[in-house]
Structures are given as structure tokens and as C-alpha cells.
Amino acid sequence: MQFQLSLTPAPLPTPIDHRQRILLLGSCFTEHIGDALREWKFPVMQNPHGILFGPDAICQALGDYKQRRTYKSTDLFYLNECWHSWHHHSRFSATDVNEALQRINGSIGATHDFIQHADWLILTLGSAFTYRLTEWADPGGLNVGSAVANCHRAPAAWFSKEMMMVEEIVNSLTHSINGLRALNPKLKLMLTISPVRHIRDGVVENNRSKARLIQAVQILTEQVSNSYYFPAYEYVIDVLRDHRFYDIDLVHPNYAATQFVLERFSTYAFSDTTQILTEEIRALVTARRHRVQYPDTDAHRQFLKSHYQKTIELQQRQPELDLTDELNYFSGQSI
């Protein structure tokens, strides 16, 4: 008897390996993928504007990277004793305006440089809803009606809310991707849709929002060259299909669900050789994080020596990997 739907997407025609640079943008589920790739020693840059949920916010960020935009104090606004950018997550906010600008512009500059040599752009779309400034808002360099990426706990009267049309999503993302490919023609695109439920929008409204994203992504993968879809949303919603795979808020997929999706991502995106290498790396990372109960024992010293030798051998075989943390730990330098 079968207790799960079967979902086996065709693997990428050109698999990802550890020599390829990956830029990831999008919702909080982006960070599950990005954190895993970083732990597995892939060269990644993740959410350089912070978490972004909507296609409009993602496109704004991609435009900033392409232009290497420099934000000025007039582009920010002051609220609750902090300076904020309407285009950035609150992790870029600061009580000092110059500190906020330094964070923002430093991230944009680094991302502009990264994109020129990147191999993959992975976008995770979270919601088709957009929030626009009303006449009551502090504009922070924007006009009334401009879309914002983050509301920064500002008064509700500062915003109007609407759902983007499918054509609008497709056109804006296509324009942004083509713009980046003018900088880097080899850039490949992977699209995913976040399985996180945006229940604050309403259950029915969340489903309508996800439906528009799904339709837009289908059109994009058909029309934009070298673009692919990884079904993270379908793995959680249709394969796992149970609230026990969600956190206590019934909104965010829990550890078991994210690990399930990451395993499927590995099969989808990596060659057999890269999957074997990734497992070897994961074993070393797990050993580095091992909680030591008796550090002054021969057994622990032998543990360090054995894993140090394994790390050295792996580094020699795969010189592109950054195993600095593991080498420092197993040599005793970081204990």
C-alpha cells in the first residue's frame, strides 16, 4: 500500500557541483536551502537584501545589484528610533543612519561582484501580495504607490495591499533576469515556491496567491532559457500533506519537512559524484559539531587526529572546498 504521492522531477540537465557559485534570493525558505548549501561547502551568497517575499521586492533587489546602486540618507526613513530602507529587511536597519547605509551599500557592492561570476540564481517566491505606500507614509525617497519589501512595523494606514497579476509577475522577473544576464550570460535560473503558508493573508487568499506564483513560474520556465523549477512547494503540500510536518504555528515546515525537501533537492540538483562528496563533507561537519564530554582523553585526541587526516585528504582531492573551520577544529586550534 502506498502512503505518499510520488513526485520525481527530471534532474537538472547540467548538475550543480562545488565549483559553481550560487546566489539565492527570496522568502525564509530560501535560507533553509542556502544554509544547507553553505554547510555543504558550496560557494553561496544568500539574501543580500534580507528575506524578500514578493516578486516585486526580488526584482527591485536584482535591479540594485545590476546597477550597483548606492543608497543615500534620503533613501531611508526614521521610525521607532531606527533608520530603515523600504527595499530591505530589518536586519539592515540601524540606530545610526551611516551604519545602515554602510550595511546596505556594502552588501549591494559585494553582490554585484558576485553576480558577474555566478553560475546559478535561485529564487524562492513566497507571496504574490504587494504592499504599496499611501499618502500617510514616510516615503523614504519613494513616491506614493511605490511597492515596499518590508513594512518595518509601520502603521497599517501607511500601506495598501493588492495581489500582483500573473502577467505582471512574469514580465518583471523576465526583465530582471535578462538584466543580470547582460552582466553574466552564463547565469542559470532555478525557481522555487515557498511552502510556508501566509495565513495572515487568509487561508483562501494564501492559496490564490500561491496559485498565481505557480502559474507565473510555469510561464517563466517555458519562456526564459536555462531556467528550471524545483517543486519544494509540492513536496511539502502534496507529498508530505500533514500538519505534523509543520511547526507549532502550522505555517512553517518543521525540521523533518525541510530535511525531506533538502534530500530531494540533492537528488534533483547534484550528480551522483557530487552527492557522494556532499555526504563526505556532511560527515566532517557533523564531527566538528560533536559535543565533547571529555576533551582531555586519548580517545578524543585520536578522534581529532583521525578527522584531521580525513580533512587533509579531502582538501587535497578537492582544493576548491573551504575546509578552514574543520582544519582548525581538528588540529586543536579552535578548541
DSSP helix, strand, coil percent of the chain (3-state; round to 5): 50, 15, 35
Which DSSP letter does residue 144 get? T
Contact by Cβ (8 Å): 16, 270: yes
Contact by Cβ (8 Å): 106, 64: no
What 3-state DSSP class applies to 28?
A: helix
**Nearby residues of 69 by Cβ (< 8 Å), 6 or more positions away:** 63, 108
**Nearby residues of 314 by Cβ (< 8 Å), 6 or more positions away:** 280, 281, 284, 321, 323
The neighbour count for residue 30, using CB atoms within 10 Å, is: 24
The Cα angle at residue 325 between residues 302 and 92, in degrees rounded to 5 = 150
**How does pLDDT run along the chain (335 residues), one tens digit per residue?**
777 888 999 999 999 999 999 999 999 889 999 999 999 999 999 999 999 999 999 999 999 999 999 999 999 999 999 999 999 999 999 999 999 999 999 999 999 999 999 999 999 999 999 999 999 999 999 999 999 999 999 999 999 999 999 999 999 999 999 999 999 999 999 999 999 999 889 999 999 999 999 999 999 999 999 999 999 999 999 999 888 899 998 888 999 999 999 999 999 999 999 999 999 999 999 999 888 888 889 999 999 999 999 999 999 999 999 999 999 999 987 54
According to CATH, the topology of domain 22-270 is: Rossmann fold (3.40.50)
| Pairing of the two strands 129-133 and 147-148 | antiparallel
Calculate the CA 139 to chain-centre distance. Answer: 28
Q: How many CA atoms lie within 13 A of 311 on its CB side?
A: 24
Domain ranges of the chain: 22-270, 271-335
